Amino acid sequence: MTVLTLRAADRPERLRGLVSGLLALGIAVVVVLAIVGALLVAVDVDPLLAAQALWNGAFGTTRSVGETLVRATPLLLIAITLIPSLRAGLYNIGAPGQMGFGALAATVIALQGAALPSVVLVPLCAIGGCVAGMAAAFVPGVLKAKFHANEIITTLAVNFIAVAVLGYLLNGALQSDFANLPQSDTLPESSGLPILLTDTRAHLGLLLALLAVPMLWAADRSRVGYRLRVFGANASLAKQAGVRPARYTIGLMTLGGAGAGLAGWMQVAALDHRLYPGVADPVGYAGLFVALLGALHPLGTLIAAVALGALLHGGDSLQVGAGVTPEIVQVLLGLILLAYAVRATRSAATARATKRKEGRSWTFSKRS
């Protein structure tokens, strides 16, 4: 039996990583808010009025809170399942395609099983969406593990394939008989998810996304979590310690696909109630941003998901509340990501320089 002994202060390091990441994000937000405030003043818009309209749009009423949570739910689920692969240096950016295939599978199951009771149909749709998302991520994972194919290119390819498949089916076999647009028939009511908050669209999927946060926290402190950290820090050492890089690569990529597939199921079952070609817009790529903005930490990712959900929904109120087009939110998000990337890159360079000076030892022992 192989026993790993890590002589790095893992927990303090993870805490420092969270604090450092949130600090970088905080600095980025402050800088970007100053820039956006200056832009608003330049076009004769009161920044405080715009901020108030954004806040009221996101949290002003129960319905607004519900819509913010609806936006945050798939972001959180995708981000949490991407974190392990990102920590290992695997960049799975195929969430839009995996989400699209998950939504497609859930839609087909719901339409074909319309006569089934809700207690049977809902889990079947969830499992189908999850498996479809996993399959869409499994192929790039195998290509990475067996042939060293670049996972960024392969997952991007899957995204294009998903768009083409959805467009083909929704203009053909799956197109509704009652619409000229590329969309499916309405899903049966028995496939819908229960509502959590009255008079809102916040659904049961929120609990699933929230459950993923402590699950990742617990996994970080398990034996698997330690192996993943060794794998992410030094693949050669991990192999000597009994970790199989190919298996972990495929597993981590597939885990990300599972989260995206479930997000696709939630989108069609709880919100759209039918399948559209753009089912993954704009959630797919945004889930990756949430994971990065949350410093690859469960708690940080939860905060980032709610914040981004608030921006996405609250931005719709800017035009009415402050006379600002909602596109300013996209500018705000882009600037935040840019500023965070610059700040995080500098922090990472400083951390690497510090490690080279201090030194760090990873050791392992095998016990049979």
Q: What is the pLDDT of residues 165-202, one digit of tens each?
A: 999 999 999 999 888 899 999 999 999 999 998 889 99
Q: What is the pLDDT of residues 131-164, one digit of tens each?
A: 999 999 999 999 999 999 999 999 999 999 999 9
User: Nearest to residue 210, comparing CAs of 80, 123, 325, 324?
Assistant: 80
Cα–Cα distance, 203 to 66 (Å, whole number):
9
- Determine which of 27-31, 37-41, 103-107 has the lowest per-residue pLDDT on average: 27-31
Q: What is the pLDDT of residues 39-56, one digit of tens each?
A: 888 878 888 888 888 899
Q: What is the pLDDT of residues 223-232, one digit of tens each?
A: 888 888 888 8
Structure tokens at 139: 């192929």
pLDDT at 344 over 70: no
Residues 6+ apart with CB under 8 A from 199: 62, 63, 66
Give me the pLDDT at residue 7, please.
44
Predicted model pTM: 0.87
Q: Where are the beta strands (DSSP E) in the chain?
A: 2-5, 363-366
How many C-beta neighbours within 10 Å does residue 131 have?
Answer: 17
Give me the pLDDT at residue 352, please.
56
Q: What is the pLDDT of residues 60-100, one digit of tens each?
A: 999 999 999 999 999 999 999 999 999 999 999 999 999 99
Tell me the three state secondary structure of residue 30. helix
Confidence of residue 350 (pLDDT cuts 50, 70, 90): low
Cα–Cα distance, 8 to 15 (Å, whole number):
13
Q: What is the pLDDT of residues 295-338, one digit of tens each?
A: 888 998 999 999 999 988 888 787 777 777 777 778 888 887 77
Give me the pLDDT at residue 17, please.
62
Cα–Cα distance, 329 to 333 (Å, whole number):
6
Structure tokens at 114: 């319309």
Average pLDDT over residues 281-287: 86
- Asked whether the beta carbons of 109 and 287 are under 8 A apart, the reply is no
Give me the pLDDT at residue 39, please.
80
Largest CA distance in the chain: 73
Which CATH number does 9-356 carry? 1.10.3470
pLDDT at 212 over 70: yes
Helix (H) or strand (E) holding 256: helix 245-266
Q: What is the pLDDT of residues 216-273, one digit of tens each?
A: 999 988 888 888 888 887 777 777 777 888 999 999 999 999 999 999 999 999 999 9
